[in-house]
């Protein structure tokens, strides 16, 4: 078996995964160091990285019925739900954090809308037809006498 020249290392995945992991560790460090604004801000930026990844993947999709179409709303719902819960928990502690989390929730919705808009601009998958160029009609069964 020869080496397949089409397989390449997924650099985008490796770089964005490392960036996400690093930002998350920094967020934990700053939140633990009693700087919650900076820590929670870094958490929001950390979760923006996967949405950037989704936008890049939607730009590379060939057809608009990509499996990414079902993934984008699900990811967005969980990210927005997390921001809303975190903002609600911080409401009585620091209103600035609640405002920041609301801004991140809006950013997540805008990024998901951009990804879905890019997918909507892709052509539909071609429909398969018979070799004759037309649709084959089914024969009706004869009734038994």
**For 52-109, what is each residue's pLDDT tens digit?**
999 998 998 888 888 898 999 999 999 999 999 999 999 999 899 999 999 999 999 9
The H or E element that residue 42 is part of is helix 36-60
Percentage of the chain beyond pLDDT 90 is 57
pLDDT at 65: 86
d(CA 108, CA 81): 11
- Report the distance separating Cα 96 and Cα 73, nearest Å: 27
Work out the mean pLDDT of the chain and round it to a whole number: 86
| 34 backbone φψ class: left, alpha, beta (φ>0; ψ -120 to 50) | left
Q: What are phi and psi of 133, to 5 degrees?
A: 95, -10
């Amino acid at each position: 078996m020869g080496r397949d020249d089409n397989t390449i290392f997924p650099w985008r995945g490796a770089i964005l995964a490392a960036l996400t992991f690093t930002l998350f560790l920094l967020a934990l460090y700053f939140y633990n160091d009693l700087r919650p604004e900076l820590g929670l801000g870094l958490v929001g930026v950390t979760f923006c990285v996967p949405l950037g990844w989704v936008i890049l993947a939607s730009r590379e999709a060939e057809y608009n019925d990509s499996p990414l179409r079902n993934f984008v709303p699900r990811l967005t719902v969980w990210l927005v739900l997390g921001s809303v819960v975190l903002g609600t928990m911080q409401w009585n502690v620091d209103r600035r954090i609640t405002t920041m989390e609301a801004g991140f929730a809006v950013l997540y919705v805008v990024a998901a809308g951009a990804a879905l808009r890019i997918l909507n601009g892709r052509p539909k998958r071609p429909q398969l037809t018979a070799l004759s160029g037309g649709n084959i009609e089914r024969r009706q069964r004869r009734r038994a006498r």
